[in-house]
Copies of this chain bind each other. A is one copy, B any other.
Amino acid sequence: MQRVELTEDLSFSRIIHGLWRLTEWNMSNEEVLTLIEDCLKAGITTFDHADIYGNYTCEKKFGDALALKPELRKEMEIVTKCGIKLVSSNRPQHSIKSYDTSKEHIIASVNQSLQNLQTDYIDVLLIHRPDPFMDPAKVAEAFTQLKIEGKVRHFGVSNFKRSQFKMLQSYLDFPLITNQIELSAYQLENFEDGTVDLCQEERIAPMAWSPLAGGSIFSSNEERAKNLRITLEKIAGEIGATAIDEVLYAWLLSHPANIMPIVGSGKMNRIESAIRALDLSLSRDQWFEILQVAMEREIA
């Protein structure tokens, strides 16, 4: 499996496993452990979490499985996030959905994540959403403390636009090493509004959430989705892909920005679609053919 160097001392597997629906998969701890081991065997060593996934339950589910075989920890990179507060029976003190990037919340959230994940350190902590109430100096204090304490090795953001990234970066003594953003052939906003440009300018490889557009490409009856499916199927035939999800992954993987798709499935055969896409070769013309159908217009 191809790897992406994020810093001198940290690399990710090009395909990342996402755990946001782990609880929904109704797996036993042993089954989760098997999934983790299957991923590792396939070369997927990077696992993407957030405190809030599964209504605050997914990190612990993963940690319980990891506890069955703690020596696996050193073979993987764990990403988690903080900064969103959900109204949840698991957080009765929350009365409204809000963002919280206060020093106290960031540190408390990381401590909870460490406990849930049953690990001593997080490889990369992301601020989950840009917080309009952010005090960047306090975020910097929290990050610095967590780094010194060895609880978090590196920091990044998620869903940040250019002005938000540049602003937070200006308060930190170390670089934000990734931006996890929504990227797919069906959801082009971050290609169009300068966010992918920002990643290239900052030399950071973006993590792509919803690389299959949450499945809506497959199910939608909208003209745009239907046309996209037709084009993806045509190109699947041309490049020897067995299904259009492989083409969707290949569309991201072939982009020069070193995009790392997050695959959020509990089934290895689904995960293997993304891995197979690493071997598919999409030509520039095919890339633009998909783009054109997705934009519903020719390029200028």
Residues of B contacting A162 with CB < 8 Å?
163, 194
Instruction: Tell me which of A35-43, A48-56, A59-67, A286-294 binds B.
Output: A286-294
Bound-state CA distance A15–B256 (Å) is 38
For residue A289, give the distance in angstroms from its CB to the closest CB of chain B: 5
Expressed in whole angstroms, the Cα–Cα distance for A166 and B202 within the complex equals 10
Partner of A194 from the list B95, B161, B298 (CB cut-off 8 Å) is B161
Q: Do A288 and B166 contact each other (CB < 8 Å), given the known contacts A99-B299, A159-B300, A256-B138?
A: no
Residue A191, interface by CB 8 Å: yes
The answer to whether A163 touches B198 (Cβ under 8 A) is yes
Residue from the list B97, B164, B194, B284 in contact with A197, Cβ < 8 A: B164
Which residues of chain A from 88 to 122 have any CB-CB distance to chain B below 8 Å in the complex? 94-100, 102
Does A200 make an interface contact (CB < 8 A)?
A: yes
Minimum Cβ distance to chain B for residue A205 (Å): 13
> A200 — which chain B residues lie within 8 A by C-beta?
134, 136, 167
Contact for A285 among B95, B167, B255, CB less than 8 A: B95
B133 touches A287 (CB 8 A): yes
Q: Name the B residues within 8 Å of A298 (CB-CB).
A: 97
Give chain B residues whose Cβ lies under 8 Å from the Cβ of A291. 132-133
Beta-carbon contacts under 8 Å, A149-170 to B: 159, 161-164, 166-167, 170
Contacts of A129 in B (CB 8 A): 299-300
Please tell me if A31 contacts chain B, counting CB pairs below 8 Å.
no
Number of copies: 3
In the complex, what residues of B have CB within 8 A of residue A30's CB?
Answer: none
Q: How far is the CB of A77 from chain B (nearest CB, A)?
A: 25
Residues on B with beta carbons closer than 8 Å to the beta carbon of A97: 288, 292, 298-299
CA distance A197 to B163 in the complex (A): 6
Q: Are A256 and B170 in contact (CB under 8 A)?
A: no
Contacting residue for A284 out of B98, B163, B292, CB 8 A: B98
B133 to A96, Cβ gap below 8 A?
Answer: no
Shortest distance from the beta carbon of A186 to any chain B beta carbon, whole Å: 15
CA distance A298 to B86 in the complex (A): 11
Q: Which of A129, A136, A200 has the most CB of B within 10 A?
A: A200
What chain B residues lie within 8 Å of A201 (beta carbons)? 163, 166-167, 170
A234 to B57, CA, bound (A): 33
A–B pairs, 21, beta carbons within 8 Å: A95-B285, A96-B288, A96-B289, A96-B292, A97-B288, A98-B287, A98-B288, A132-B191, A132-B196, A133-B255, A133-B288, A134-B200, A135-B256, A136-B200, A136-B256, A138-B256, A159-B300, A164-B194, A166-B197, A167-B197, A170-B201
Interface of A with B (CB < 8 Å)? 94-100, 102, 129, 132-138, 159, 161-164, 166-167, 170, 191-192, 194, 196-198, 200-201, 255-256, 284-285, 287-289, 291-292, 298-300
